[in-house]
Amino acid sequence: MGVFVFLPLVLPLTVWPIARLAEQHLHPRTATVLLSAAAGVLAVCSTVCLVLLMVVGTAQLPGNPLPDGWSDEEVREAVPYDEVAGRAAIPALLAVVAACGRTLWVHHRVRRRAVRALTGARGRSVAVLPDGEPYAYALPAGRGRRGRVVVSTTMLSCLGGGERRVLFAHERAHLAGRHHRFLLAVHLAARANPFLRPLRTAVSYTTERWADEEAAEAVGSRRAVARAVGRAALVSRGTGPAAALARFAAAGPVPRRVAALLEPAPVVRSWPPVFTTAGLAAWTAAAGTTVSALSSANSAVTLFLVLKAATPL
């Protein structure tokens, strides 16, 4: 097995260039699904790898509840640098579990609090709130509750009639496509392995692009969507936590969204041909994910067999 046992931990690095290529060259729907799936698989593989290392690490500790056979020479041979790696895996795995648990908890708390905040607000699918801040959000559907678009009066008053239609079409696309599930998946993946953070950023962008494209189809004009997104961004500038995070080199997501809308519509293909940039990105991502899955499956099976052999029955 050798150093291959560590492969799933670092293979997420292969998706860094791919994330950027996919968000630029693939249809946003394809990119969202592909990148979220890749993030999910890579995160699971890297966690499986951590669990295996932790088993070996824990088995060495005196007074552990695991069978003594699990710290035998042959098991330890299966993992290189078993002393360091095994011990390091324990806090790493605990950190992963804690971070993922926190993310899930925050996710449910925000949803619960937002739903509770909206008690008494009229409108089944749209809640218009009198607020001096311009904002618009899509609140996902929950138990027995429809998804709702939450928008402030200030945001509506800054937009013309056509632009409001764009805004509602965009938010409804988020709700209909259940984009929050993709977002939650990549947020969890980024917690499981920090190397997957660029995928989280990429999917946050591609879900917005996806909703923009759906809105463009609904209102029948890409330029109208570009104008609405631009106008809304200009009125909400300087508010919110992201304002503090100035980007230096790369353009932020909003100008890129507007620029993409001013370009011709992206082509929907189920799978792009290999010899294009997009195809190369998709195929490399798929290959990286497969290798990661195979190597962690290989590690898991091998270690399982070794442990089984070492456990006296």
Partner 1 sequence: MDQERTGRPRARRRGQGELEVQVLSALRQAPGPVDTAWVRERLGGDLAYTTVITILTRLLAKDAVVREKAGRSFVWSPTADEAGLAALRMRRVLDGESDRQAVLASFVTSLPPGDERMLRELLERAEEPGE
Q: In the window 164-193, what residues touch partner 1 (CB under 8 A)?
A: 167, 170-171, 174, 179-180, 183-184, 187
CB of 238 to partner 1, least distance (A): 6
Handedness of CA 220, 225, 226, 227 (dihedral sign): positive
CB of 129 to partner 1, least distance (A): 4
Q: Which is nearer to partner 1, 6 or 168 (CB)?
A: 168
Q: Which is nearer to partner 1, 87 or 107 (CB)?
A: 107
CB of 227 to partner 1, least distance (A): 5
Q: Between helices 15-25 and 277-310, what is the axis angle to 10°?
A: 140
Residue from 166, 116, 164 nearest 139 by CA: 116
Q: Between helices 253-262 and 222-235, what is the axis angle to 10°?
A: 160
Q: Which is nearer to partner 1, 164 or 310 (CB)?
A: 164
- Which parts of 97-116 interact with partner 1 (CB under 8 A)? 103, 106-107, 109-111, 113-114, 116
Binding status of residue 23 toward partner 1 by CB under 8 A: no
Interface segment toward partner 1; rule CB under 8 A; list 9-17, 72-80, 134-142, 266-274: 134-142
- Candidates 237, 269, 273, 305; binder of partner 1 (CB under 8 A) is 237
Three-point CA angle 271, 34, 212, nearest 5°:
95
Rounded to 5 degrees, what are φ and ψ at 149? -95, 125
- Candidates 88, 156, 218, 254; binder of partner 1 (CB under 8 A) is 254
Three-point CA angle 203, 172, 135, nearest 5°:
80
Binding status of residue 124 toward partner 1 by CB under 8 A: no
- Candidates 63, 73, 119, 161; binder of partner 1 (CB under 8 A) is 119
Q: Alpha-carbon distance 294 to 278, whole Å? A: 24
DSSP-assigned beta bridge partners for residue 145 = 142
Q: Alpha-carbon distance 255 to 250, whole Å? A: 10
Q: Which is nearer to partner 1, 2 or 255 (CB)?
A: 255
Euclidean distance between the first and final Cα of the chain, in Å? 25
Binding status of residue 21 toward partner 1 by CB under 8 A: no
Eight-state DSSP code of residue 217: H
Interface segment toward partner 1; rule CB under 8 A; list 19-27, 35-43, 256-264, 273-281: 256-264
- Candidates 94, 255, 277, 304; binder of partner 1 (CB under 8 A) is 255
Q: Alpha-carbon distance 78 to 89, whole Å? A: 15
- Looking up tokens 């950027």 gives 20
Taking every pair of Cα atoms in the chain, the longest distance, rounded to a whole number of angstroms, is 75
- Candidates 118, 141, 280, 291; binder of partner 1 (CB under 8 A) is 118
Interface segment toward partner 1; rule CB under 8 A; list 55-63, 80-88, 241-249, 298-306: 241-249
Q: Which is nearer to partner 1, 153 or 298 (CB)?
A: 153
- Looking up tokens 């905040």 gives 117
